[in-house]
Structure 1
């Protein structure tokens, strides 16, 4: 839908490295305390706030790779659906993790199409009917507002995911 270069430019994709002072095999043994094995499909988050699991993340963990996102909680208003993909490497006695956080995924990919479709229907209705033309300007303002809110939610989710991963992986070694 959008090129990765464009998403990096508008800060919806972010790369960073985390170095954890524990061997890779020990890190892989402790990671299931944070991650519940689950599918990360588009509608996989629909009823997860009703789950009783105590894990923080959902996703898939493999010996050299992981793909996770933060679990939705009841009454959580952050709307953070950012996806983190990481490559695990042994670096002496430490574990080096190359992480890529993507803010545009899942339902957020279809949101712009949905908004543009609804706006196109309203615009066609205005053109066919005898409505004042000032409403077309209002519709353009409303569309701009929706996309701005949508963008800032995704950007905040990308930043929050980076912070939370760094924090949770750091405290994982103390577990």
Structure 2
């Protein structure tokens, strides 16, 4: 039976078990998960938070992370500025990035979610509004959500992946994980 771990990756943690080549000590998955033989299925940038899946099954890892399977990934994104209908429509139609056109996404304005505090906190500026959007993509390009929101005129302030396919962060606190039987 395959192991599947749902981990709520905190801000600043690398999506790998070791940190080679860095002069400063950075947190890795090994600071939170002591289970041999599992590997991340995909990645989540150091400055992003939320759901990271890990497994010991190579086929499952491929099905989760390979873009050809088009598994939906949903993010809660705090952006700088007001998410206008025009900006959301751009995200939904697909955005032209340096590495090509993105697939259409599902984008909507949402109320600020009830979340844990981030350390360090997101910078706050009295004169610049911010808002939250939910964004679902089916690709996994490098820093794709951040690049998409920036191209739509909404730079990302905080990024939390809350779902990958059927798996969600529900009931998993930052820095903790849950084992799912597959």
TM-score, length basis structure 1: 0.25
More strand by share: 2
> Taking CA–CA contacts closer than 8 Å with sequence separation of 6 or more, which of the two structures ends up with the larger relative contact order?
2
More helix by share: 1
